[in-house]
Amino acid sequence: MKDQPQDTGRIQPVSASIPIMPDTEARMFKAALTASEWILHGRRHRAFVLLSGSGRIVLERTHAPLVGPCIVWLPVGNLATLKLDAGSEGASLTVSELSLGRAIPAGPVGAQIREAMLDPALGTRVALETARKLGGMIEAIEIELREDAPGAHDAVRQHIALLLIALWRLSSPSAAKPQPSPRATVHGFLHLVEIHVRDHWTVADYARLLGVTADRLNSAIRRATGRSPLALIHARLITEAEILLDSSTLQVSEVAEALGFRDPAYFNRFFKRLTGIAPGRRRFQPFQKIPRADQSFAAWP
């Protein structure tokens, strides 16, 4: 009789993972005496490396057979069912959109990786040596998560980056990729701002990661939103600052530090210039918590 868990589809891990990063899970799985079925709800990215055994994956109307050694990559937002036959062995990785975005390297290669990771890979056959190498990367993540040694978060991010590069290489990237469409550029920029706004990246930094020039990025963002990329970055910083000022007991200097400002005085001038009021006074003046139109990127094109 088949085991049919309804959450993450876990099957007999070699060792339990302690979730120091709740949005990331990695585990090796051994051969089971019975078939296993995983329901993948699409809330996070999923990677499977099937070292041996067989199974099948159902994604919408696509029914793809799995024969090890092979790999499965399922981007966030894809609801699927994965079935593994008895005796199957391999590794699995679950990672959130935020953690994945932080792991993708900068530069043109990062832009190509981001684009490649948008497409599912359903049972791509690989050499056994390649599968073992990929499985080893996932096992290294599992060990870091379990042991929680100093620097574990950074180590996990680096291991995920290496895994993404390896998966990207398997997708046969061409030497020269066309530049992303303006719409893809806008969505990519807004997504990156959500992740890196506290890192105080320049517009050139965002353009470089998206694989476009700063002028092209500026043009695409202005056409879509009527505002410059820098204005949107500043607006997002102000929103983060207001959330911390309104809902925490942090001192203004601590808010500044949390937002990546090295100089609290500069943060005070920045906040007052964009809002008309000093951050320290905001807490002592009555205000209505009415969401501004620019507080969320979700509704933007």
User: Do both 104 and 214 map to the same domain?
Assistant: no
Domain boundary (112, 142, 170) is at 170
Residue ranges making up the domain that contains 294: 182-301
Cβ contacts of residue 96 below 8 Å, gap of 6+?
Answer: 23, 24, 44, 45, 76
Q: How far apart are CA 214 and CA 197, in angstroms?
A: 17
Q: Residue 195: inside a domain, yes or no?
A: yes
CA–CA distances in Å: residue 187 to residues 16, 112, 142, 183: 37, 15, 32, 6
Q: Residue 32: inside a domain, yes or no?
A: yes
Residue 7, SS3? coil
User: Do both 72 and 104 map to the same domain?
Assistant: yes
Q: Residue 39: inside a domain, yes or no?
A: yes
User: Do both 210 and 275 map to the same domain?
Assistant: yes
CA-closest candidate to residue 19, choices 146, 154, 184: 146
Q: Residue 282: inside a domain, yes or no?
A: yes
Q: φ, ψ for residue 149 (rounded to 5)?
A: -75, 165
Q: Are the beta carbons of 131 and 70 closer than 8 angstroms?
A: yes
Q: How far apart are CA 254 and CA 4, in angstroms?
A: 47
DSSP letter for 20, please. Answer: S
Q: Residue 40: inside a domain, yes or no?
A: yes
Q: Which residues are 66's β-sheet partners?
A: 55
User: Do both 50 and 135 map to the same domain?
Assistant: yes
pLDDT value of position 211: 81
Q: Are the beta carbons of 147 and 99 closer than 8 angstroms?
A: no
Number of domains in the chain: 2
Q: pLDDT tens string for the chain (301 positions)?
A: 333 333 344 443 333 333 445 689 999 988 677 888 888 888 899 999 999 988 889 988 788 888 889 999 999 888 889 898 888 999 999 999 888 888 888 777 888 888 888 888 888 888 889 999 999 999 999 999 999 899 888 899 999 999 999 988 887 655 445 567 788 888 889 888 988 888 899 998 888 888 888 899 999 999 999 999 999 999 999 999 998 888 888 899 999 999 999 899 999 999 999 999 998 888 766 444 434 434 444 334 3
Q: How far apart are CA 160 and CA 230, in angstroms?
A: 30
User: Do both 113 and 146 map to the same domain?
Assistant: yes
DSSP letter for 241, please. Answer: H
Q: Residue 6: inside a domain, yes or no?
A: no
Q: Residue 175: inside a domain, yes or no?
A: no
- The letter for the amino acid at 127 is A
pLDDT value of position 21: 55
Domain boundary (111, 143, 170) is at 170
Q: Residue 65: inside a domain, yes or no?
A: yes
DSSP letter for 96, please. Answer: -
- The CA-based dihedral angle spanning residues 189, 190, 192, 193, taken in that order and rounded to the nearest 10 degrees: 110
User: Do both 166 and 29 map to the same domain?
Assistant: yes
pLDDT value of position 134: 94
User: Do both 130 and 232 map to the same domain?
Assistant: no
